[in-house]
Structure 1
Amino acid sequence: MTKLTPPSVATPDETSGDRFERLVQLMRTLRSPDGCAWDREQTLETLRPFVLEEAYEVVDAIDRGDPTALCDELGDLLLEAVFVAQICADEGHFTIADAADAINAKLVRRHPHVFGDGVTTGGSTLSPREVKEQWEQIKTRERAGKPTRETLLDGIPESLPALLRAARIGARTANVGFDWDQAGDVLKKVDEEMTELKEAMAAADAVHVEEELGDLLFTVANLARKLRIDPESALRAANNKFTRRFRAVEQRLAATGRSLHDATSDELEREWQAVKRTPPAGSTPDTP
């Protein structure tokens, strides 16, 4: 077997582009006949879960406010992007350079207030909201030139987390006026869906219960959208709060020589309420 020489270690005077090219070359080597058997056998389908996992780990590092971990996780995500692009290059579809060209052109095209005809003009006084509206208008015009989209909702990835996809669907239909007028109107719809869920539960109809629960979740996701709240972020924060509290319950029991399995449901509830009344360090008491 041929022994390959790895890329040299980066030097302080090298540019970001030099270092990125080293990563591209490294992946090309790993996919070569003299490279790594595992890397060579990977496909777009086998990489899919790794791409998702690394993206979520980036989000987790952001949520934890850990710059060191974020740097590491961004590197892992960048690796997956280069890996995917190399597979596509091997199959004759496009290269990582093509992908970079595409996003560079898109950024210039969608920032006309900054780049006039591709030339920096010093920005403008557009507000962030106006910039967002302009971005969506430009994106809509671009979509109009692509004949592959048959309906308004085409192009929203089915692989998105369900809550996020629900909000994206609602935002897309809102562009043509199919939306609630105010958040209060969505809240009424939440009450309506809750009533229908209770009726399905009373009828002990499992299929209907699942359907109504889905309708309720879809509506709640769009309530978040109307309130300008990311539903995924809100639920992630709730998950983290529950996890923090439950760990505290477990620690309180352990301090008395007991485990979760030793406690009754009433005791667990008392510990839970005690934890809720005890604010985390540097904060105010948690809300229910």
Structure 2
Amino acid sequence: MNRNEQLNKIHELLDIMTQLRAEDGCPWDREQTPSSLKKHILEESYELLEALDRGDADEICDELGDLLLQVVFQAQIFSESGTFDMGDVAASISSKLKRRHPHIFGDAEHAGHEERWERIKLQERNERGQSNTLAQRIPSALPALKRATKFAKKKGPEPHYESLQQIENQLKVLRHNLSENNKTTADIEQAISLLLQNTCELCAATGSDPEELLRQKTTQLIASYDSKNQFT
């Protein structure tokens, strides 16, 4: 499609969403709220990840559409109260991209782009009156492994050899706790949590994504298990 054809399809999607939410629209769509749609955003995101793993272009296109629907749906709901609409959403991200890429849309040098990106993000938070604490900058809704790794990166990850040493130490503690009859579940869980945290530190130090690594490994294990077991 050329640019005009693409824009026409986007306009069509916006019109469909408006009609679904109209008084004579779909009852299910009309009763949805920003909060009730949260689970669908998460589900569609994971379905897109699976499609990307499989590499099927048609499936990826379909799942991108499902995720786009969630963006359009949320924007439509907020537009009905006059808060913002899809145009405001597009304007917001366009402005942000230009602001965070001064080496493309301005006269800044290409060198030091990553450090400048972080400085711009901090400046944006200051201008909005938001706190720059890590508690505010690292979303609590992130999956636990990803959140722990992001924390390690933000604070500055430990050198990989120190993380390895901590992992070895925690394994010793865990073995000891599991062998002691008087150790409580809390003691064992504490040792496991520290082991997981130090593993995330190691991932941050090596540039790895523990969430993605574990997701891929689990997919492989499930496929291997299914290949060895017959299900009817």
Q: Common fold, TM-score beyond 0.5? A: yes
Partner AA of 2:146 in structure 1: L
- In structure 1, the residue matched to 2:221 is 242
TM alignment of 1:146-165, pairs within 5 A: 146-149=128-131, 151-165=133-147
- Paired with 2:117 and 2:62, the residues of 1 have a C-alpha distance of 31
Partner AA of 1:82 in structure 2: V
- In structure 2, the residue matched to 1:229 is 208
Give how far 1:147 is off: 2.4
Structure number with the bigger relative contact order (C-alpha 8 A, sep ≥ 6) is 2
Aligned Cα root-mean-square deviation (Å): 2.1
Inter-CA distance 88–155: structure 2 relative to 1 (3 Å threshold): farther
- Paired with 1:237 and 1:64, the residues of 2 have a C-alpha distance of 12
Inter-CA distance 77–32: structure 2 relative to 1 (3 Å threshold): same
TM-score computed with the length of structure 1 as normaliser: 0.73
Give how far 1:12 is off: 7.4
- In structure 1, the residue matched to 2:173 is 196
Deviation digits for residues 20-42 of structure 1 (CA, Å, limit 9, x no counterpart): 12111211111110101100100
Query: 1 or 2, which has the higher helix percentage?
Result: 2
Assess if the C-alpha contact under 8 Å between 1:153 and 1:169 holds in 2: no
- Paired with 1:86 and 1:145, the residues of 2 have a C-alpha distance of 27
- Paired with 1:90 and 1:215, the residues of 2 have a C-alpha distance of 47
- Paired with 1:14 and 1:125, the residues of 2 have a C-alpha distance of 32
- In structure 2, the residue matched to 1:26 is 16
- In structure 2, the residue matched to 1:215 is 194
Q: Return 5+ residue gaps in structure 2 as ranges.
A: none
- In structure 1, the residue matched to 2:161 is 184
Q: Secondary structure at the match of 2:133?
A: coil
TM-score computed with the length of structure 2 as normaliser: 0.90
Inter-CA distance 150–13: structure 2 relative to 1 (3 Å threshold): closer
Tell me the matched-pair count.
Answer: 229
Deviation digits for residues 75-133 of structure 1 (CA, Å, limit 9, x no counterpart): 000001111111122233211111111100000001011001xxxx7x9654xxx4333
Deviation digits for residues 40-93 of structure 1 (CA, Å, limit 9, x no counterpart): 100111101100000111111111111111000000000011111111222332
Larger Rg: 1
Assess if the C-alpha contact under 8 Å between 1:153 and 1:172 holds in 2: no
Inter-CA distance 205–71: structure 2 relative to 1 (3 Å threshold): same
Q: Percent identity?
A: 35
